[in-house]
Amino acid sequence: MLGWPRRLPALLLIGLLLPCAIVVIFTAAMNLQETDHYAAIVQSGNPSGVDSISSGQQLSGQSSTLRHTVEIRRPTGPPRVITTLKDASGEFVTVACSTCHTTRPPNHQNKSVRELDEFHSGMAFSHGTVSCLSCHNSEDYDSLKLADGAPVEFTSVMTLCGQCHGPQLKDYQHGAHGGMNGYWDLTRGPQQKNNCVDCHDPHSPQFPHMKPVFKPRDRFLEQSGTEH
Amino acid sequence: MANSRTDAVRSYPGFLWWGLGQATNGGLSFYVWMFVLTAISLVGANAWAHQVAEGMILTNMTDHVSWGLYIANFTFCVGLAAGGVMMVIPAYLYDDEDMHKVVIIGEAVAIAAIVMCTLSVMVDLGRPDRFWHLIPVIGRVNWPVSMLTWDVIVLNGYLLINLHIVGYLLYMRYLGRKPNPRWYVPFVFLSILWAISIHTVTAFLYCGLGGRPFWNTALLAPRFLASAFVSGPAFIILVMRILRITTGYSAPPGPARTLIQIIRVSMTINLIMLASELFTLFYTGGAHSASAKYLFFGSHGHFGLVPWIWTAIVCNLVGTALFFMPNALERGSIRIVACVLCIVGIWIEKGMGLIIPGFIPSTLHEIVEYTPSLVEWKVTAGIWAFGFLLLTVLLKLIATVFASEKSGTALERVSE
Amino acid sequence: MTPHKTTNGQDPNESANRRSAEPLLPILEAPSTRRTVLKTVGAALGLAAFGEALSPLMVVPENMSIDEFLQQHYKELSDDDKQRIFSRLEAETKERFGAEVKIVDPKPIPGVRFGYAINVSKCNGNGKCMEACNRENNHHRGVDQSYIRVLEMSKGSMDMEHGSTTFDHTVPQDDKFYMPVQCQQCDNPPCVSACPIEATWKEDDGIVVVDYNWCIGCRYCEAACPYHARRFNWEPPEIPAGEVNPNQGYLSNRIRPQGAMEKCHFCLHRTREGRAPACQEACPTGARVFGDLNDPDSDINYVLKNKRVFVLKEELGTKPSFFYYFDS
């Protein structure tokens, strides 16, 4: 028993270090077995295959396996203006833009709502410095026009918006803008996507403000509102 | 007399049964004491039954503060159990004769404390009916990765080792034989190693979590050990004093003095480490100190733990100062007050002052405060009452065995 | 432990007792002293009181079958076992919630590893994802549980301490950005390491799942998670029969038992069939991008390669499969 006092520190040390050592060895072994998925993600492939949406309606994958379509919702067509008159069934009568605009000279300078009247009153316009006729076609008010003057249908609005909003269009083509419903895996089912004007008012495209719809109710968490 | 009993009872179960009978003998005040403890235990059992039936919603724990009083109490009890070994180290490593006589009290405290640990974990489970999933072989344990699995294994191992040592020593005395060192000395050394492991592993349980900066410090395990080496001996000093009052026996001053020396050193180390921790947290500042800031000074208008931790600080400092008074080495009320202060201080420091602030603010920096519910207090009180019940029975058994072995002189060894 | 009794080492009564008990085990001898009788009565009363104290537990066996009690870990179940268990759970759901449900167990799609990204430039904190999660995953309606928490953060700071989840004003505020946090499906998940009984693990497609029937509810994983992604069932969940989502996965959105842990599972009952997770479909801002990390042409890989992407608490080494990015 004489030697024991000298062994005390050693015993204490073993008691302390033994569990540590075992844990470290085992966890290290476990970690070695793990493949480093992170490196795999970062290195895998390159961003190829940007789908074209030239028609603005449908995307189809280019791979050889059978793929379902990406359905992009489209606007119903040229907008119609609601008048104050009612028809026989009591519905308000609507008229096409061209009904009035064919007889009126276009104002190429107009960039604000103030100068508009009649059916346009009350309209909010906040879309950078573009003028009305940057997009509206003064030759045919029932269609739109591209920057080069070529007419484009209201249903193909995405082509029009994409002229300026290239980054958004690119993101959109890769699912990083506009959201989606349906299948992430097109080999198993179709996908539905919005078009620009589903979410953005073209005259005031900023996404609208919202009221939060839902909050988990935690016990003892003060619903103070903002700062804690 | 010893020989006749050797003939009479040879089986160990028989000895245990006899011991139970003897341990439940006593005078009126003994029965009152046992009755009160039983009653509190039953209140706790009832509260726990309600908690199991109606859900943990009866506690005030939340997804933000997902551990509360139960785990806080668990942490302290592990320290108490590890502290029991403080008696063993000088006795066997340094061959301290006086300590040899009181070692068994430390072992008894360790057994009771481990049982309290196990109960504290049990009551914290949402599905105690699935407890068997934790049992190796029939369950599915995540060993060696999960620190909790380690903890379950080492705690139960520690319980078995101490049950063996205490049981063997008592049984031999009961049979009137001299204990064979081969059957208990190796286990004593194992229990020394094991005592350090249980508290180290319990600290790793918390400090291994990278998502909880308040716990994620290498100092946690040493701090746990240091504070365990205060609370354990302090508790044993209290137990010896109670034995002296109730049995009327006065102990030789040696063992208590050794324990107080241990406490002096350990508490100083504990306070130094606490101070280093606080320096790092507050001098560096930033997100890592958010919990400490909340704990000590409150933050964003929440001050739930501030009274707790300052109570602990005051208790620890005053208790330590008292321990360093020369009078503390003499019999008297000073060392008793000091023990009580240090036990209370460490209970808070390791429990409400360590476990709870780890969750406040939450990992997303939300502040949800926590105050134990009545059910939690009842269950915790029940666990403590049961622990005391067990300790009383163990001490009574020890006293009886020692007394019957050599009437008169032997009992001194126990009641010292 | 009364005073006096042991002053001489022994109490006369006590030694007499023992002597009478010496021949053999005292109980077998049945010495029927007054003390023994009193002790027996006391023990009986104590046991009775103990039984009475624990009587609230009687509801537990009523609500649980032997099959459920003995049910093995998910990975040890045969297909037959699973069928039996799913039928039992469907019947229980019918009985408790009055809803006809179908529980399935879709397996990971070979070669697929899921990733999820959120555009913090787009997210405006409207909370529709939280609502969709609540409906899709049969969450407890009593607390409007959800696997997602949306943080309102101050622009110019990534310090969550200046964030808030309890905002209820119009969003987005000009000086704020919004950051939904849910399970990050880490590649090095601290919760999986923490679990003492392997009740939670990472599947081949990267989703960290929980066996709700194996979890003992110790909540160590909840302490280990750096993202507040785990939720505990503090009380039995309540869902009106009409709102129960009948398409349920065993490891995902089936109604969870009280006392078990749960977490976001990327809607695996949907995503393993090729469909988008519920929170992505619900997002009105298009801020969420989901897909296969192993497919170089996937949407999620486009984001990882072309955007300024970050992960939460990267310094912890958890390697999330959940990403955040800015538009510009």
The DSSP string of B277-327 is HHHHHHHH-SGGGHHHHHHHH-BTTB-TTHHHHHHHHHHHHHHHHHHHSGG
B277-312 tens-digit pLDDT: 999 999 998 878 999 999 999 998 999 999 999 999
Asked if C193's CB is within 8 angstroms of B146's CB, the reply is yes
Of A171, A189, A225, the CB nearest to C275: A189
Helix (H) or strand (E) holding A89: none
Task: Collect all residues with Cβ–Cβ distance below 8 Å to B301 and sequence separation of at least 6.
Answer: A228
What's the burial of A92, exposed, middle or buried (CB within 10 Å: 0-12/13-18/19+)? exposed
Asked if A221's CB is within 8 angstroms of C115's CB, the reply is no
Give the Cα separation of C142 and C264 in Å (integer): 19
| Contact present, A225 and C167 (Cβ < 8 Å) | yes
Asked if B388 reaches chain A (Cβ–Cβ under 8 Å), the answer is no
> pLDDT category, B330, cuts 50, 70, 90?
confident
Does the pLDDT of residue B267 top 90, yes or no? yes
Q: Is the dihedral of CA B91, B96, B98, B100 positive or negative?
A: positive
Of A34-38, B124-128, B353-357, B406-410, the one with minimum mean pLDDT is B406-410
Comparing C251 with B252, which gets the higher pLDDT? C251
Asked if B23 reaches chain C (Cβ–Cβ under 8 Å), the answer is no
Asked if C289's CB is within 8 angstroms of A183's CB, the reply is no
Site of tokens 């073209």: A202
Asked if B60's CB is within 8 angstroms of A221's CB, the reply is no
pLDDT of residue C320: 97
Does the pLDDT of residue C248 top 90, yes or no? yes
C contact residues 85-144, partner B, Cβ 8 Å cutoff: none
- Domains of chain C by residue range: 13-53, 114-326
Does the pLDDT of residue C161 top 80, yes or no? yes
Does the pLDDT of residue B6 top 80, yes or no? no
B28-68 tens-digit pLDDT: 889 999 999 999 999 999 999 999 999 999 999 999 999 99
In three-state secondary structure terms, B228 is helix
How many CB atoms sit inside 10 A of residue C88's CB? 15
pLDDT of residue A28: 65
Q: What percent of chain C shows pLDDT beyond 90?
A: 82
Of A1, A14, A20, the CB nearest to B193: A14
Give the Cα separation of B343 and B322 in Å (integer): 13
Highest mean pLDDT out of A40-54, C158-172, C272-286: C272-286
pLDDT of residue A64: 53
Q: What percent of chain A shows pLDDT beyond 90?
A: 36
How many CB atoms sit inside 10 A of residue C238's CB? 12
Q: Which has the closest alpha carbon to B51: C223, C46, C59?
A: C59
Task: Report strand pairing: A191-193 vs A70-72.
Answer: parallel
Comparing A66 with B115, which gets the higher pLDDT? B115
To test the contact with chain A by mutation, choose from B196, B229, B369 the residue with the greatest count of A C-beta atoms within 10 A, namely B196
Asked if B201 reaches chain A (Cβ–Cβ under 8 Å), the answer is yes
- Whether omega before C190 lies within 30 degrees of 0, making that bond cis, reads no
Amino acid at B154: V
**B369 contacts in chain A (CB < 8 Å):** 220
- Selected from 3.90.79.10, 3.50.50.60, 3.30.70.20, 3.30.479.10, the CATH number assigned to the domain covering C114-326 reads 3.30.70.20
Rg (CA), chain B: 22
B contact residues 120-139, partner C, Cβ 8 Å cutoff: 121, 124-131, 133-134, 139
Asked if C319's CB is within 8 angstroms of A226's CB, the reply is no
Q: How far is CA A89 from CA A79, A82, A85, A92, A95, in A?
A: 21, 15, 11, 9, 16
pLDDT of residue B10: 62
- Domains of chain B by residue range: 29-415
Of B21, B38, B130, the CB nearest to C216: B130
What's the burial of B320, exposed, middle or buried (CB within 10 Å: 0-12/13-18/19+)? buried
To test the contact with chain C by mutation, choose from B35, B66, B129, B250 the residue with the greatest count of C C-beta atoms within 10 A, namely B66
Give the Cα separation of A210 and A149 in Å (integer): 37
- Domains of chain A by residue range: 52-77+166-200
Site of tokens 């029927």: C32
Of C109, C119, C128, the CB nearest to A213: C128
Angle at A19 (CA atoms; ends A14, A25), nearest 5 degrees:
115
Averaged pLDDT score across all residues of chain B: 89
> pLDDT category, A39, cuts 50, 70, 90?
very low
Burial B152-187 (b: 16+ CB within 10 A, else e): bbbbbbbbebbeebbbbbbbbbbbeeebeeeebeeb
| Average pLDDT rounded to a whole number, residues A208-215 | 93
What's the burial of A52, exposed, middle or buried (CB within 10 Å: 0-12/13-18/19+)? exposed
Contacts of B310-314 spanning 24+ positions with Cβ under 8 A: B311/B344, B311/B345, B311/B348, B312/B344, B312/B345, B312/B346, B312/B348, B312/B349, B312/B353, B313/B345, B314/B345
Give the Cα separation of B77 and B199 in Å (integer): 10
Give the Cα separation of A167 and A13 in Å (integer): 62
Q: How far is B150 from chain A (nearest CA, A)?
A: 9
Q: Is the dihedral of CA B283, B289, B290, B294 positive or negative?
A: negative
Comparing C124 with C58, which gets the higher pLDDT? C124
Highest mean pLDDT out of A41-45, A211-215, C223-227: C223-227
Comparing C33 with A189, which gets the higher pLDDT? A189
Task: Collect all residues with Cβ–Cβ distance below 8 Å to B153 and sequence separation of at least 6.
Answer: B136, B143
Give the Cα separation of B25 and B411 in Å (integer): 16
pLDDT of residue B318: 97
Does the pLDDT of residue A19 top 60, yes or no? yes
C contact residues 288-307, partner A, Cβ 8 Å cutoff: 288-294, 296-299, 301-307
Q: Alpha helices of chain A — where are they, by DSSP H? A: 4-33, 37-43, 97-101, 132-135, 157-164, 166-173, 196-199
| Contact present, B304 and B370 (Cβ < 8 Å) | yes
The CATH fold of domain B29-415: Formate dehydrogenase/DMSO reductase fold (1.20.1630)
Distance of CA C95 to the CA centre of its chain: 23
Task: Collect all residues with Cβ–Cβ distance below 8 Å to C184 and sequence separation of at least 6.
Answer: C227, C229, C311, C312, C318, C320, C321, C322
Does the pLDDT of residue B413 top 60, yes or no? no
Distance of CA B110 to the CA centre of its chain: 7
Does the pLDDT of residue A60 top 60, yes or no? no
Angle at C200 (CA atoms; ends C197, C201), nearest 5 degrees:
110
User: In this structure, what token pair is assigned to residue B27?
Assistant: 């005078």
> Is 0.85 exceeded by the ipTM?
yes
Give the Cα separation of B333 and B317 in Å (integer): 17
Rg (CA), chain C: 28
pLDDT of residue C5: 39
To test the contact with chain A by mutation, choose from B197, B202, B209 the residue with the greatest count of A C-beta atoms within 10 A, namely B197
